[in-house]
Amino acid sequence: MLGVSKAQIIFVMFAFLATSCDRKSAVQQATGDVQVQIGVQTSANDYSLQKVNLTGISDLKEVAGRYAKFFYSPGAQDNQLIGSAPRANFIRVGSFFVPTDLISMQMATIYYHMQRLALFDELVGARGLHQWPRSVGIETQIIDEDGASLNNAFYNGQTDSMMFVPFTNPELPIAMNAGIIAHEHFHSLFYKIVMRPAVEAKKIRSNRTSLHAEERARDKAILFEKPIKMQNQEVTVAERAQLFNETYLRGMNEGLADFWGWLYTSDAEFIRWSLPAMTESRSLNLPEDSYGYYETNGNLTSRVSSHLAGSTNVRVGLAKYAYTIATPYARFLKQFTVMQADNKAISIDEAKTKMASIVLSYIKSLGAQFVSLKAEETLHTGSLFNFVAEQMQKEKSNLSLDTKDCEFLLKYINKEVTEDKKINVCDTQTETVTILNNR
Amino acid sequence: MKILTIGLILFMTVSGFAAEKPFDQATDAARLDIMLLQIQFRYEDSVEQSRQLQNYKGLLDIPILELNLAYQINNFRFSLGHSYQFEKTGNKSLEIRRSTDEFLLGSGYRVLHIESPDKNMALDLFAQVFAGVTQTQVETKLVGVSSKSKSNPDSVFAAGMSAVGRYKYAVVEGDVKYINSANMNPQYVPAFTVRAGGCIYF
């Protein structure tokens, strides 16, 4: 009936498709250094779209490379994340790529920050602590009897991975928040230096960290641990000390992580972009009338006692209290860093690098101290201030302790000593200022 | 390789004309189909990280309004079609709007023709190949500031079958085709389309 056979038509159609499919997509071709447009924090008050270079990219479709490897809604097996990688979508515009959906934007952004945090690790002496690329779970489903976890981020030490759960608020998604990514990254440092050895030495049981405590008791890691005895008289000194130390370390971990978030972004309220309800409680701005405030050993001891007396689950209650412990440490460190830049002939970046190195040395010393602690002993909640003072006194450069530093430090160092025992003074007789202990 | 393909198509077309049967007014009259109603589904990657049947949007974001023209003469059908897809992800602080425009020029050959005795009703089956261009625009709104980017235009190819049914001046077309473009996800996408409109006879 027809002048052209059906076989001819089918042949032409196949030839047509076969010749059209021999091209790699722009995304498939993009490896090595790849320029992408993502949302980054350009100042303490601004997020904007910027073109940045992602380096070491091996597969842009999965935004995988030297610094990060992504898992979509992952599970865990044999201490590793398992699951498929999310597929990222980009368009090529001239020489750069633009993410075409939220998941892709988050992946590119997290990769970029992991790349920068790797450099920061090297700068402050944390090189070699991490294995790269880092594992990152996005849209992680954490579901328990109270429902799914939302609007939060976690560092999971067991799988050595950063996890982002679904974000449903109208604010900036947590996975886009540079400060929060740096905060979570710090948890991985703290875990490796302090928590993992402590867990291995059976000094603590709980080692989970999250960006913030959720209102409901959904922290499975804590919830399903063996309940501690509820009556004060039945709790041994060792158990009490363990609760004290767990809570203190959790608080210190969160506080230092918030400080790391500020170091990375210069934004004292970086959390406000994603979780504005926490702005006030987690702000790193330190009013002058709060100089010297932190949760002392006395505060922490009495809080442990009150939870032992009244809480149905002591660890859940104390986990929330950890954030009260945390913020004063972060505020102290941020204020002290700013003072270095303000009062000495150094830039804020130099001051930040110096303080980050001191913090890293501090957590190394804290980890070593904690592992050698006897079962009934507790850590000292003021140890950070003493450590900073010691380190600064050793400093021989233009960063050495000055009178303002000394007076600021003494407000903390003297906090938990009675009036008649406040005997530390700043010695300004010599060229360098030292904190003298006249005892 | 592309030139070779185009040459092959031209060769087939000419060889088709060479063996053509005598002209039949009812079957072979030239006509222009104007089809502004369209429903299209494509099985492709979605923003939910799964491959699923996606309902394509229409012109001005009106679901079934779309531009489709086809000129049919004898056993040949030449078409121009537009497809539009729009997806929005994110929230109030970070919103990403992606829209894709695609224009396809088609060339088809009739492999089957059935008509009613009064010739008012007819059904044609065509084998078709398409070539065209696609371009994606992304509008990213971050904390209130918006930025628009347009992708480099990319070529699209497709092959498939379509069935065209007519009743007097009304026309309905259903087609199934495999679309290929380097930057599609995946690179081969099956598409199912139903469109309707009217036709003008010459």
**Chain segment A196-220, per-residue pLDDT in tens:** 998 888 777 655 666 666 544 344 4
**A286 Cβ neighbours under 8 A, 6+ residues apart:** A331, A332, A334, A335
Q: Check pLDDT > 70 for residue A86.
A: yes
Exposure b/e, A215-235, CB count within 10 A at least 16 = b? eebbbebbbeeeebeeeeeeb
Residues A37, A50 contacting (CB under 8 angstroms):
yes
Measured between alpha carbons, how far is A288 from B180 in angstroms, rounded to an integer?
A: 65
Q: What percent of chain A has pLDDT over 90?
A: 61
Query: 3-class DSSP state for residue A429?
Result: coil
Indicate yes or no: CB of B2 within 8 angstroms of CB of A20: yes
- Res A84 pLDDT > 60: yes
Which tens digits make up the pLDDT trace of A404-419?
Answer: 888 899 899 888 776 6
Confidence (pLDDT) at A30: 93
- Please, which residues have CB within 8 angstroms of residue B95's CB and are 6 or more apart in sequence? B88, B89, B140, B141
- Across all residues in chain B, what is the average pLDDT? 87
Residue with structure tokens 């076969």?
Answer: A18
Question: Tokens 């500031």 correspond to what residue?
Answer: B145
Q: Tell me the C-alpha to C-alpha distance, in Å, between residue A254 and each of A110, A177, A248.
A: 20, 16, 10
For B158, nearest residue in chain A (alpha carbons): A17
Do A26 and B91 lie within an 8 Å CB cutoff?
no
- Mutate which of A21, A98, A150, A270 to disrupt the B interface (most B C-beta within 10 Å)? A98
Give the pLDDT band of residue A317 (cuts 50, 70, 90). confident
Pair B71, B30: CB distance under 8 Å: yes
Assess A109–B contact: CB distance below 8 Å, yes or no.
Answer: no
Give chain B positions within 8 Å (CB) of A5: none
Supply angle C-alpha A309, A310, A316, rounded to 5. Answer: 110
- Mean pLDDT confidence for A179-204: 92
Predicted confidence (pLDDT) per residue in A250-289, tens digit: 999 999 999 999 999 999 999 999 999 999 999 999 999 9
Q: How far is B102 from chain A (nearest CA, A)?
A: 15
Give the pLDDT of residue A220: 40
B8-66 pLDDT, tens digit each: 554 454 444 444 455 554 566 789 999 999 999 999 998 888 899 999 988 877 888 99
d(CA A193, CA A279): 29
Average pLDDT over residues A380-393: 92
From the CB of residue A426, how many other CB atoms can be counted at a distance below 10 Å? 18
> What residues in B contact A47, CB-CB < 8 Å?
142-143
Q: What is the pTM of this model?
A: 0.88
Pairwise CB contact (< 8 Å): A98 & B140? yes
* pLDDT greater than 80 at residue B105: yes
Contact with chain B for residue A9, Cβ under 8 A: yes
Give B163→chain A minimum CA distance, Å: 16
Q: Both ends of chain A: CA-CA distance in Å? A: 113
| B125-148 CB burial, b ≥16 within 10 A, e <16 | ebbbbbbbebebbbbbbbbeeeee
Give the tens place of pLDDT for each residue, A394-404: 877 777 788 88
Average pLDDT over residues A328-348: 95
CB distance A13–B159 less than 8 Å? yes
A91 touching B, CB under 8 A?
yes
Quick one: closest CA in A to B125, which residue? A6
Write out the DSSP string of B44-74.
Answer: EE-TTSSEEEEE-B-GGG-TTEEEEEEEEET
* Torsion sign (Cα): A102, A103, A106, A111: negative
- Residue A231: predicted pLDDT: 46
Report chain A's mean pLDDT, rounded to a whole number: 86
Cβ-Cβ contacts under 8 Å, A27 against chain B? 183
Contact of A368 with chain B, judged by CB distance below 8 Å, is answered with no
> Which candidate in A1, A5, A8, A9 is best for mutational testing of the B interface (most B CBs within 10 A)?
A9
Q: Is A308 helix (H, G, I), strand (E, B) or coil?
A: helix
Distance CA A108, CA A37 (A): 9
Q: Average pLDDT, stretch A172-189?
A: 97
* Closest CB to A4 among B1, B12, B188: B12
Q: Are A69 and A135 in contact (CB under 8 A)?
A: yes
The answer to whether A25 faces chain B, any CB pair under 8 Å, is yes
| Range from A169-178, A393-402, B189-198 carrying the lowest mean pLDDT | A393-402
Candidate from A6, A13, A93 with C-beta closest to B149: A93
Is the Cβ of A13 closer than 8 Å to some Cβ of chain B?
yes
Which residues on chain A are in Cβ contact (under 8 Å) with B177? none
Confidence of residue B148 (pLDDT cuts 50, 70, 90): very high
More confident residue, A9 or A429: A9
**Whole-number Å distance between alpha carbons of A24 and A21:** 8
Separation CA A199–CA A205 (nearest Å): 6
Amino acid at position B118, single letter: D
How many other β-carbons are positioned within 10 Å of the β-carbon of residue B173? 24
Distance between CA atoms of B149 and A95, rounded to whole angstroms? 12
pLDDT at A122: 94
Q: How many helices (H) and strands (E) are present in chain B, helices listed first?
A: 2, 10
From the list A10, A21, A173, the residue facing B180 with the nearest CB is A21
Q: Which residue has the higher pLDDT, A229 or A78?
A: A78
Question: Are A4 and B16 inside 8 Å of each other by CB?
Answer: yes
d(CA B11, CA B7): 6
CB A68 within 8 A of CB A129: no
Interface contact flag, A2 B98, Cβ < 8 Å: no
Q: Indicate the angle between helix axes A6-20 and B2-18, nearest 10 degrees.
A: 160
- Is pLDDT of A378 > 60? yes
What does the CA dihedral A158, A159, A162, A166 come to, rounded to 10 degrees?
A: -100
Residue with tokens 């000292």: A380
Nearest beta carbon to residue B45 from set A15, A37, A87: A87
A100 touches chain B (CB under 8 A): yes
Nearest C-alpha neighbor of A105 from the set A153, A177, A55: A177
